[in-house]
Structures are given as C-alpha cells and as structure tokens.
Structure 1
Amino acid sequence: MGLSDIAAGIEVVDEQREEGVATVDRTDDPLADRLEPFAEELPCSPAEAAALVDAYAAGKHVGAAARVAGVPPTDGAKALHLFGENVSPVGPMGREIVTDWLAGELPRTEAVELAGVSDGEFALAAFVETHDPIDGAMEAVAGALSVDDADTRAALGETIDGPGETDF
C-alpha cells in the first residue's frame, strides 16, 4: 500500500462543516428529586442520600458525611458505592478473599481474618462485590460529585505546583 492509497478519499475544503455545539443537560432539579426514581435501590431515602452526597462532595469522609445525612456510616458507604464512588475497605487481595468467601471456598471467620478487617468492613466489602453501581443514579449525582479543576486549584492555592515547579 503506497502513500497515494492511504491518502485516497481525503479532501481539502475551505470551510468546516457546522456540527453544532455539544451541550450537557444540567438539570436544575434538586438532587433528592433526581434520586427519587432509585429510592427502592438505595439503603436510605433520596433526601438522606442527597445530604450524604453534598457532605461528601464538600470534603467530609464517608463516616462524617453519613452523620451529616443522619444515616449509619455503612449505609452511607453503600449509597456512595451505588453512586460509583470507591468505598471498598479492602484492597485487591482483600477483594479476592471476599470473592473466595462468596464462592463458598472459605469460612467467614477465616476470610475476615485473612482480609484483616472488622466484621462491619467485611460486610461492606461483600456488599461492594455483590452490587454494581446504579447507572441512572450515577448520572444523577455526577455533577455533585465532580470537582471543577479551577475550583480545586482555588481551594488548594499554592499547594499545587505548576509546570516545571516540582522539587524532587
């Protein structure tokens, strides 16, 4: 295959086609209302889930965000997992241990000991392994959980190095 074969079909034009502007539909509905369709799948009410997401997005850790929302920390972690956040209390080896326990290859007491976590953390890890995040709910909270880079830079101020400013 020669260069002329590769270039076949390429055309040069004087102007670009108007494709329009890509838009994102950011709804103005309150987060609790957007979570309402998923109420039966959540471990707490949509209003509690919205308060949880707001507190978590404001920088509170999972337990503190759950307290703000008025839900048990484990329920808060479960809700955040269903929204696509990584809240598993175990690493890759722990996940394998939980998977082995779920498959019936290990007794629970041995699995908890091998994973090196508490019973509550093991239960959360099992929940994470057996429940996938909810697509629609992930989309509903996406704007609330995403952080704009400009906001991050403003919040962290001079703690972020610019290009070529790192000292190793």
Structure 2
Amino acid sequence: MGLSDIAAGLTITTPQRERGVATVDATDAPLAERLAPYADDLPCPVAVAATLLDAYGAGTSVGAAAAAAGIAPTTGAKALHVLGVGGVNPLSPLAREIVADWLDGGLTRSEAVTLSGASDTEFALGAYCATHPPAEGAAAVVAAAREPDSRSLGRRDREALAEACETPDALR
C-alpha cells in the first residue's frame, strides 16, 4: 500500500495557513534606524539593508531576499557579510586561501580563479569578503533584531524555557 492509497478519499475541510519563520524584534527602534551607524560600510542604502535583513531573516535565500529589497544578489550578499551574517561567502576554505595568496601578490588573478574552481562572480564575492571585514558591532544589532523580548515573557514562561535549555555539558 502506497501513500496515494492511504490518502485516497481524504479532503481538506479547513484551510491551512502559511506560517513561515517566526521572528520577534526585542528592540524599540526600527531596524533601519539601528543600522544607520553602518551606512558608510554598506554597499546599499540603510533602508534597503533593513528590508534585505527582514527578508533573509524570514528564511528566504540571499537571492530572494535581495530581490525583495530591490538589489542584485551579489550586493545583497555583500551587505549581509558587512552586517556580520555568516554563510554568504561562496568560497571553500581552500579557495579562500587561494584568494589570500592572490591578494598578497603570489598568484595572478587568472591563476587564482582557476585554482579556486569558483566562477568569476563567486571569486569576486569571495575577494570582497576577504577585503571587507564585517562592521564592528553590526552583528550584535542583527542578532538583537532576532531575539525574543524577555520582558514580554512571564516568570513561568522564563522558567519553562530555562528548563528546556540545558547547558552543552549536560548533553553528554
């Protein structure tokens, strides 16, 4: 008996809701306002970066988040990198070493691209990530935008959460 046999005759009587990824911003100021100190470091306007972060934080890909913000995917990846969001550098650790060798003058660009195995776009984004460190303090602003507001939790809720969250040593 297959799934189609099991599901035969089933009908949905209640519409389902798309729930997405739940996020709670525990701060009072709008995200764009909190990103304002990093405006000079960003490759796009602050309001666009805030839209990008909201879309990316909702669980979309970098490309889809960039499209929602109205910018190119590479610009979106650069902005996320500058804001301290991890995982946007497309290069492997070995390819990152090759980019570093190229930046130090040990390789020509064509040699480095060939050795890295990356496309020209991936190589350029990896080079950007290598030459533009994340803005100091930006990752904390981004993280704060995704933390639940502990003030809105009651004592019983906090205790229940504390019981559910064990220390890593207790998991052994």
- TM-score relative to the length of structure 2: 0.67
Q: What letter is aligned with 1:126?
A: A
Task: Report the alpha carbon displacement of residue 120 of structure 1 after superposing the two structures with TM.
Answer: 1.2
Partner of 2:39: 39
Find the counterpart in structure 1 of residue 15 from structure 2. Answer: none
For these two proteins, the number of residue pairs brought into alignment is: 123
State whether structure 2 residue 63 is matched by structure 1 residue 63: yes
Which residue number in structure 2 is paired with residue 125 of structure 1? 126
User: Is 2:138 the partner of 1:137?
Assistant: yes
Counterpart residue number, 1:74: 74
Aligned to 1:116: 117
Change (3 A) 1:103 1:146: farther
- Distance in 2 (CA, whole Å) between partners of 1:123 and 1:80 is 15
Letter in 2 for 1:138: A
Indicate the percent of aligned positions where both proteins have the same amino acid: 58
Q: Please, what is the CA RMSD of the aligned residues?
A: 1.7
Classify 1:40/1:97 alpha carbon distance in 2 versus 1 (closer, same or farther; 3 Å): same
If asked which structure has higher relative contact order (CA below 8 Å, sep 6+), I would say 2
Alignment match, 1:84: 84
Distance in 2 between the 1:113 and 1:85 partners? 27
Greater Rg by CA: 1
Q: Please tell me the residue identity of whatever aligns with 1:130.
A: T
Matched residues in 2 for 1:83 and 1:145: separation? 14
Cα displacement (A) at 1:49: 0.3
- Whole-angstrom distance in 2 between the partners of 1:67 and 1:41: 21
Q: Distance in 2 between matches of 1:147 and 1:43?
A: 29
Contact 1:53 1:145 in 2 (8 A): no
The aligned residue for residue 28 of structure 1 is 28
Counterpart residue identity of residue 96, structure 1 = E
Distance 2:132 2:38 in 1: 14
Show CA shifts across 1:13-69 (max 9, x none). Answer: xxxxxxxxxxxxx43111001111211110011110000001111111111111111
- Residues 96 and 145 (structure 1 numbering): CA distance in 2 closer, same or farther, change over 3 Å? farther
Counterpart in the other structure of 1:95:
96
Separation of aligned partners in 2, 1:38 and 1:62: 20
Matching residue's letter, 2:65: A
- Pair 1:55–1:35, CA change in 2 (3 A): same
SS at match of 1:41: coil
User: Residues 27 and 144 of structure 2 are in contact (CA less than 8 Å); yes or no, is this contact kept in structure 1?
Assistant: no
Q: Which runs of 5+ in 1 are unaligned?
A: 1-25, 149-168
CA contact (8 A) 1:38 1:137 kept: yes
